[in-house]
Chain A
Amino acid sequence: MIIRLAIASLSARALTVGMTILAIALSVTLFLGVEKIRTGAKTSFSDTISGTDLIVGARSGSVQLLLYSVFRIGNATNNVTWESYQEIAQRPEIEWIVPISLGDSHRQFRVMGTSTAFFEYYQYRQDRSLETAEGALMDDLFDAVIGSDVADTLEYSVGDPIVVAHGLASFTEHKDQPFRVSGILKKTGTPVDRTVIVSMEAIEAIHVDWKSGAKVPGKTTPVDMIRQMDLTPKAVTAALIGVKSPLQTFTLQRAVNDYTEEPLLAILPGVALQELWGIVGIAETALLAVSAMVVVTALIGMMATIFSSLNERRREMAIFRAVGARPSNILGMLVLEAMLTAAVGALLGFCFLYVGLLAAQPVLDSAYGIWLPIEPPKWREIGVVLAVIAAGAIVSLVPAYRAYRLSLADGMMVKS
């Protein structure tokens, strides 16, 4: 009955209570949304590479190596010579090794040279492999396989010619050797979607007439001649490695890091990701703190509303007192009302979150490659809701205590 009365009392003040609920709901949505995007981004990052035990590249930082080799963020400081690559590939621990060559672009998308083994061993979201949606993998020297975002954005289909530009933001295009789209990959939600994949030999081929990053003037080797040339790569940017037994991962890592011919770096993707989280962790915490403050602000707004309603509710409190309610009952009722308000607000916030997710999911996925799963609330999120309700109760104690004092002084008679 007391809960029914509290609900009736709240609905009698529907407008102000509604505004308070809305404020709490939006703040909870913001908080849960930030949390969702944070964990979603983390999983997206972690899901980008799986099944790879080590990544090898020129010596730089482990985060940097991870970022440019897997996420195509930033650039390599140096390459790994083909000889070193070969030497590592020969080691007994190696189950498979996939070379990666970066540095060219097509429009806003990066071009990656690799071997067909990439399609065999690269895995994302635990155990998913790349699949073609249309066409086939590279067969000819000038064949390119493009990610789904590349195909969507540039409206390419199988058989279309494309021209690769040297460097990442350059207008010097490798016009002499037009490529052909041989296949389009299915969407993965990883940077592969935004990559043009060609063979290692193709990367060599387009640089036949180039020296030190510039085209040799007047020199144009015909395509037919290029096909006759030895296109063994001279260097790779990085290599993805799978080892035979997980125990050998560290042995191989040490061997690569101690490699004497040139400075190399081998990283465990998971460890490097952890390092990356360590770096972005501060920003993450700050974001979370800000959204938590928004929740607190909404609750303080509720406190102010309760305060301002106290005066007009003195008669109501006097009636309660007349029928035998103690001042502590009055306090309890105000806290109960606040908890109901906070609870409705928090639950509404949840609804907003799901509506928002439904709307934002495709946008975030295509724009940022972050896939936010729509799933039943986790314990952590339920914990947030409970915390909001508890915080609402605590915050309401302040005006409720004032009501307690008022009702103690007023008794059954309101002196106005």
Chain B
Amino acid sequence: MNLRRDDPILNMSGVRFQWPGRTSFALNVPAFCLQRGETVLLLGESGSGKSTLLSLICGTLQTGTGTIAVSGTDLAALSGAGRDRLRAEQIGVIFQQFNLLPFATVSDNILLPLRFAPNRRSRTKMPFEEATRLCRSLGLPDDLLGQRAASLSVGQQQRVAVARALIGQPPLMIADEPTSSLDAGSQNAFLDLMFGQLGEIGASLLMVSHDPRLGDRFDRVVELSDIAMIEGRAA
């Protein structure tokens, strides 16, 4: 992949997505751009098409028209496998919950993306040590690494998910309501840790939430309805 450092990490223009076989719902994104190192909070209620938008950016859904470029690479120009590879290399993803393979150990969960992203793997000289370091800096005790993910508390699981998203230093992190399953106290602690690690590697963050109170930390706060026009209702 031929990447230029000055390309925005994410650039969407003229995107129109329609679920195949359904005419009632369509998502339009005329223009949206995310610079390298920029952190953006995208505010939107559920049903506002945010899942669809994130799936489009991650390349698991394909647009009919328009361009979505991640790190300067147009997703439409890639095959399915190519989009999977681009996602593996460029994007760390955190969901609201169920981020981890419950049966696998914490360290296997953290190291999992490296299996699908050779570049991230080669950047990570000593993967296990790196996983340990990430865990420590996210406030997780070392002995957690060998435990099964299912035995962790939700807060711990979310922090492990951050470690997984950040291992191998991908340039973009996408977070889908990562704090909504946490109580208010741990929300702040979680975001502190996440932003600390993000800043260290200089990655961009696109975080979706319905909670505008989180906005202070971000470079930009964008209403989803400002960038995306929904026709009909999402499922």
Using a CB–CB cutoff of 8 Å, the interface residues on chain A facing chain B are 1-2, 4-5, 8-9, 11-12, 315-316, 318-329, 408, 411-413, 415
| Inter-chain residue pair count (beta carbon < 8 A) | 80
A316 to B108: give the CA distance in the assembly, Å: 14
Q: Is the CB of A329 within 8 A of B103?
A: no
How many residues of chain B are within 8 Å of chain A by beta carbon?
33
With A4-B108, A325-B116, A329-B116 known to touch, is A412 a contact of B55 (CB < 8 Å)?
yes
Q: Is the CB of A322 within 8 A of B116?
A: no
A411 to B102: give the CA distance in the assembly, Å: 19
Can you report 10 residue pairs joining A to B where beta carbons are below 8 Å apart? A1-B111, A1-B115, A2-B115, A8-B104, A8-B148, A12-B102, A12-B103, A319-B101, A320-B112, A324-B117
Which residues from chain A contact B147 at a C-beta distance below 8 Å?
none
Which residues from chain A contact B112 at a C-beta distance below 8 Å?
1, 5, 320, 323
Which residues from chain A contact B101 at a C-beta distance below 8 Å?
5, 8-9, 316, 319-320
Q: Is the CB of A8 within 8 A of B61?
A: no
Q: Which 7 A-B pairs have the closest CB atoms?
A: A324-B88, A411-B60, A12-B103, A324-B116, A323-B113, A322-B93, A326-B84
**Closest A residue by C-beta to B120:** A324
A324 to B88: give the CA distance in the assembly, Å: 4
- Asked whether B98 is an interface residue with its Cβ less than 8 Å from the other chain, the reply is yes
Partner of A412 from B60, B105, B113, B235 at Cβ < 8 Å: B60
Partner of A322 from B58, B89, B115, B117 at Cβ < 8 Å: B58
Q: Is the CB of A8 within 8 A of B111?
A: no
With A9-B101, A9-B103, A325-B116 known to touch, is A412 a contact of B93 (CB < 8 Å)?
yes
A315 to B102: give the CA distance in the assembly, Å: 10
* Contact indicator per residue, chain B 32-60, by CB within 8 Å of chain A (1) or not (0): 00000000000000000001001100101
* Contact indicator per residue, chain B 197-235, by CB within 8 Å of chain A (1) or not (0): 000000000000000000000000000000000000001
CB of A240 to closest CB in B, whole Å: 67
A323 to B55: give the CA distance in the assembly, Å: 13
Which residues from chain B contact A324 at a C-beta distance below 8 Å?
84-85, 87-89, 113, 116-117
Which residues from chain B contact A4 at a C-beta distance below 8 Å?
104, 108
**Closest A residue by C-beta to B127:** A1
**Closest B residue by C-beta to A315:** B98
- Asked whether B95 is an interface residue with its Cβ less than 8 Å from the other chain, the reply is yes
**Closest B residue by C-beta to A13:** B103
Which residues from chain A contact B105 at a C-beta distance below 8 Å?
8
Q: Is the CB of A411 within 8 A of B103?
A: no
A173 to B16: give the CA distance in the assembly, Å: 104
With A4-B108, A323-B93 known to touch, is A11 a contact of B103 (CB < 8 Å)?
yes
- Taking A1-B108, A324-B116, A327-B80 as known contacts, 19 extra A-B pairs with beta carbons closer than 8 A to each other, sorted by chain A number, are A1-B111, A1-B115, A2-B115, A4-B108, A5-B101, A5-B104, A316-B101, A319-B101, A321-B84, A322-B93, A323-B116, A324-B85, A325-B84, A328-B81, A411-B60, A412-B55, A412-B60, A412-B93, A415-B235
A322 to B176: give the CA distance in the assembly, Å: 12
Partner of A411 from B61, B98, B99, B148 at Cβ < 8 Å: B61
**Closest A residue by C-beta to B59:** A411
CB of A57 to closest CB in B, whole Å: 70
- Asked whether B27 is an interface residue with its Cβ less than 8 Å from the other chain, the reply is no
Which residues from chain A contact B102 at a C-beta distance below 8 Å?
12
- Asked whether B164 is an interface residue with its Cβ less than 8 Å from the other chain, the reply is yes
Which residues from chain B contact A413 at a C-beta distance below 8 Å?
51, 54-55, 60
User: Which of A1, A320, A408 neighbours the largest number of chain B CB atoms within 10 Å of its CB?
Assistant: A1
A11 to B103: give the CA distance in the assembly, Å: 8
A413 to B96: give the CA distance in the assembly, Å: 11
Which residues from chain B contact A5 at a C-beta distance below 8 Å?
101, 103-104, 108, 112
Which residues from chain B contact A321 at a C-beta distance below 8 Å?
60, 84
CB of B63 to closest CB in A, whole Å: 14
- Asked whether B10 is an interface residue with its Cβ less than 8 Å from the other chain, the reply is no
User: Which of A9, A324, A327, A415 neighbours the largest number of chain B CB atoms within 10 Å of its CB?
Assistant: A324
A321 to B83: give the CA distance in the assembly, Å: 11
- Asked whether B68 is an interface residue with its Cβ less than 8 Å from the other chain, the reply is no
Which residues from chain B contact A318 at a C-beta distance below 8 Å?
98
CB of B91 to closest CB in A, whole Å: 8
CB of A134 to closest CB in B, whole Å: 64
**Closest B residue by C-beta to A329:** B116
- Asked whether B100 is an interface residue with its Cβ less than 8 Å from the other chain, the reply is yes
CB of B21 to closest CB in A, whole Å: 12
A5 to B100: give the CA distance in the assembly, Å: 12
CB of B97 to closest CB in A, whole Å: 10
**Closest B residue by C-beta to A9:** B103
**Closest B residue by C-beta to A316:** B101
Which residues from chain A contact B51 at a C-beta distance below 8 Å?
413
Which residues from chain B contact A412 at a C-beta distance below 8 Å?
54-55, 58, 60, 93, 95
Which residues from chain B contact A315 at a C-beta distance below 8 Å?
98
